[in-house]
A and B are shown apart, each in its own frame.
Chain A
Amino acid sequence: MTNSHQSMKPSGIFRDTGFTQNIVLIQLIGLCPIILSGISLKYGVVLTVCTMLVQVNISLLMSVLGGRIPDWLQPPVCAIVSAGLLLGAGYVIGQYISPELYAGLDIFVPLIAVSTLVTYRAGGFAAHNHPGAALADALGASLGFGVVICIVAALREIVTFGTLWDVPIGFEPIFARGALPFVGFILLAYMAAVLQKILMVSRMIREPRPDSRDGDSTNRDFFAEIEHIGDIENDEDIADPDKIPGSGDPARS
């Protein structure tokens, strides 16, 4: 359940979870809220804030306590704590910010409590690492999720309703069914492809692709290993077709 990160420095972990191995686009975790309720920028921002709240707290908690709680007890503890946090958040949104907003989001705020986004990172990473790393990971995951859901939600809102943050921007809604899930899936797919392309290009800029010189060196190592076997008493060791791949049966008449 642990992921190998490129570096164990907090900034490296943050960049890793947020961008290079983006939690949504590359690891495909936490798609459900984006597809079903990422239809308006306000929803997106609210979900991001709630996710970040829950994620940071749960990751810090698990990082401190995780070693002491047995494995089977970790998910229920996460769920109960995050449910408590979300109850508070939901109350704040419903009472003080906007009741329509809370009603529009209906189940997706409480759903964060059992979302894979939280439990995957909490149990998988935070439980085995020190708090600094856990914090960086939590921030990376939630901000990575947040960027994706805001972009998707903004696009869908513009196309479906013609507004952005409930402000009409003079764009005729051409596509009344943009709130349907398949639009979310296809948008996510294209965004994932774009991210992959960006990563590939940046990788190629940073490390030019090894050309045949590398191939030769590996072959040289291979043969060097063969020579190091020592004095070979009979040739059958080398000529054994099982040892050298690719050589067929020489004595086929």
Chain B
Amino acid sequence: MRFKRGKPPYLRKRDKAVYMRLDVLIALAPLVAFSCIYYGMRPLYVMLHGIISAMLFDGIGNLFLRRPPGWADGTAAVTGGIIAAVMSPAAPYWMPIAAAAFAIFAIKIPFGGAGRNIFNPAAGGLAFITLCFDGRMFTYPAPNTPIGDITQIVTGESLGSLLRSGAATSFKPADLLIGDFPGPIGTVAIAILLACAVYLLFRRSISVFTLLPFLAVCTGYAVLFPRVGTGWENSVMLELCSGYLLFAGIFIVTDPVTSPKFWLGRIFYGAAGGILVMLMRTAGRFEEGCCFAILILNTFAPAFDRLSWKAIYRTRTYWQRLKGVRK
């Protein structure tokens, strides 16, 4: 009887990489559903446009890379989903498609495709749209107005622009939690976002070491440099709930492929991300410059990983040598 060889270990965990991406899509679903309650069916169509076009472009791009289409990979669907979730509910349908095209063809494919990209494609797509179509990107309809024709919508003033112009006062926490204010599709329902974060953390699809320092640094910055005159609690609440900061912290900054893998590297990455995002908001040109901050941050991921691992490894080795456990 002959047998196969193969490589050890011969027992593997029954787990697939695609489950992480599926978890993200599952987490996006209630956000879109909630937005549909306020705005009608349009957010769902925007999301579908984003996801399907991203997957299509990814398939075409993988032909250039001579790799299999990769729809079973799930990364393109996640990119499309994240891009669409940051669009305004009144965004024209070509905007998520254009963003997905830029994300896939200029950020993902040239660097090697899924798993090899240095920059977050969703952040790249959002940066493209923010730079080129910032007017249309940042016009948000007032909540509870179903959207028919997008040229005739009642616009509302988003929290980000209020903070920027200094005219923000206080909001009731209940209003903020249920998302009763103008904003992008997937980022206003704060309570649901927090539930999604908890779900993703427990499924080990995102890392607590990246998320918590990010939120902590943003909170600290909001306390130290408030843009609101009515106390630090209001400042923290408004800064964390405005724009897509919380959404970016949960879905974009913690993207596994582009963030470091070592726990200490992740902590530094989250903290640096928090500082960059808040700086882009307060000193940047647009009301929400999260995507640019994330693109800058992505370049530091390998450096954080390597340096922090070196530090920990050397300390541990010296300590073990001191105790006599290692020769």
Q: Are chains A and B touching directly in their complex (CB below 8 angstroms)?
A: yes
Taking a contact as CB atoms closer than 8 A, the residue among A175, A176, A182, A189 that contacts B110 in the complex is A189
New contact pairs (9) apart from A180-B132, A182-B131, CB-CB < 8 Å: A175-B132, A176-B132, A177-B131, A177-B132, A177-B133, A180-B131, A186-B106, A189-B110, A193-B110
Q: Which 4 A-B pairs have the closest CB atoms?
A: A177-B132, A186-B106, A177-B131, A180-B131
List of B residues within 8 angstroms of A180 by Cβ: 131-132
**Alpha-carbon distance A177/B106, docked complex (angstroms):** 17
- Which B66-122 residues have a C-beta within 8 angstroms of A? 106, 110
Highest count of chain B CB atoms <10 Å: which of A175, A180, A186, A189:
A186
List of A residues within 8 angstroms of B133 by Cβ: 177
**Alpha-carbon distance A193/B61, docked complex (angstroms):** 14
- Give the Cβ gap from B209 to chain A, nearest Cβ, in Å: 32
**Alpha-carbon distance A176/B106, docked complex (angstroms):** 19
0/1 interface trace, chain A 184-205, chain B, CB 8 Å (1 if under):
0010010001000000000000
Binding site for A on B (CB under 8 A): 106, 110, 131-133
Nearest neighbor of A189 in chain B, beta-carbon distance: B110
- Give the Cβ gap from A161 to chain B, nearest Cβ, in Å: 15
Nearest neighbor of A186 in chain B, beta-carbon distance: B106
Nearest neighbor of B135 in chain A, beta-carbon distance: A176
Binding site for B on A (CB under 8 A): 175-177, 180, 182, 186, 189, 193
List of A residues within 8 angstroms of B106 by Cβ: 186
Nearest neighbor of A193 in chain B, beta-carbon distance: B110
**Alpha-carbon distance A176/B135, docked complex (angstroms):** 12
List of B residues within 8 angstroms of A186 by Cβ: 106
List of A residues within 8 angstroms of B132 by Cβ: 175-177, 180
List of B residues within 8 angstroms of A189 by Cβ: 110
A-B contact pairs, 11 of them (CB 8 A): A175-B132, A176-B132, A177-B131, A177-B132, A177-B133, A180-B131, A180-B132, A182-B131, A186-B106, A189-B110, A193-B110
- Give the Cβ gap from B97 to chain A, nearest Cβ, in Å: 13
List of B residues within 8 angstroms of A193 by Cβ: 110
Nearest neighbor of B107 in chain A, beta-carbon distance: A186
List of A residues within 8 angstroms of B131 by Cβ: 177, 180, 182
List of B residues within 8 angstroms of A175 by Cβ: 132
**Alpha-carbon distance A177/B131, docked complex (angstroms):** 8
List of B residues within 8 angstroms of A176 by Cβ: 132
List of A residues within 8 angstroms of B110 by Cβ: 189, 193
List of B residues within 8 angstroms of A182 by Cβ: 131
Nearest neighbor of B102 in chain A, beta-carbon distance: A186
**Alpha-carbon distance A182/B127, docked complex (angstroms):** 11
Nearest neighbor of A175 in chain B, beta-carbon distance: B132
**Alpha-carbon distance A193/B64, docked complex (angstroms):** 11
**Alpha-carbon distance A189/B106, docked complex (angstroms):** 9
- Give the Cβ gap from B52 to chain A, nearest Cβ, in Å: 22
**Alpha-carbon distance A182/B133, docked complex (angstroms):** 14
**Alpha-carbon distance A175/B132, docked complex (angstroms):** 7
- Give the Cβ gap from A172 to chain B, nearest Cβ, in Å: 13
Highest count of chain A CB atoms <10 Å: which of B110, B132, B133:
B132
**Alpha-carbon distance A189/B131, docked complex (angstroms):** 20
- Give the Cβ gap from B4 to chain A, nearest Cβ, in Å: 25
Nearest neighbor of A176 in chain B, beta-carbon distance: B132
- Give the Cβ gap from B86 to chain A, nearest Cβ, in Å: 19
Nearest neighbor of B128 in chain A, beta-carbon distance: A182
**Alpha-carbon distance A151/B132, docked complex (angstroms):** 22
**Alpha-carbon distance A193/B110, docked complex (angstroms):** 10
- Give the Cβ gap from B289 to chain A, nearest Cβ, in Å: 15
**Alpha-carbon distance A218/B133, docked complex (angstroms):** 59
**Alpha-carbon distance A177/B137, docked complex (angstroms):** 14
**Alpha-carbon distance A193/B131, docked complex (angstroms):** 25
Nearest neighbor of A182 in chain B, beta-carbon distance: B131
- Give the Cβ gap from A223 to chain B, nearest Cβ, in Å: 31
- Give the Cβ gap from B92 to chain A, nearest Cβ, in Å: 12
- Give the Cβ gap from A156 to chain B, nearest Cβ, in Å: 13
**Alpha-carbon distance A193/B133, docked complex (angstroms):** 28
**Alpha-carbon distance A238/B132, docked complex (angstroms):** 67
**Alpha-carbon distance A186/B119, docked complex (angstroms):** 15
**Alpha-carbon distance A182/B131, docked complex (angstroms):** 10
**Alpha-carbon distance A175/B94, docked complex (angstroms):** 12
- Give the Cβ gap from A190 to chain B, nearest Cβ, in Å: 9
**Alpha-carbon distance A176/B131, docked complex (angstroms):** 10
**Alpha-carbon distance A100/B161, docked complex (angstroms):** 38
- Give the Cβ gap from B232 to chain A, nearest Cβ, in Å: 37
**Alpha-carbon distance A182/B291, docked complex (angstroms):** 15
Nearest neighbor of A185 in chain B, beta-carbon distance: B106
- Give the Cβ gap from A28 to chain B, nearest Cβ, in Å: 16
Nearest neighbor of A183 in chain B, beta-carbon distance: B132
**Alpha-carbon distance A189/B109, docked complex (angstroms):** 12
- Give the Cβ gap from A237 to chain B, nearest Cβ, in Å: 36
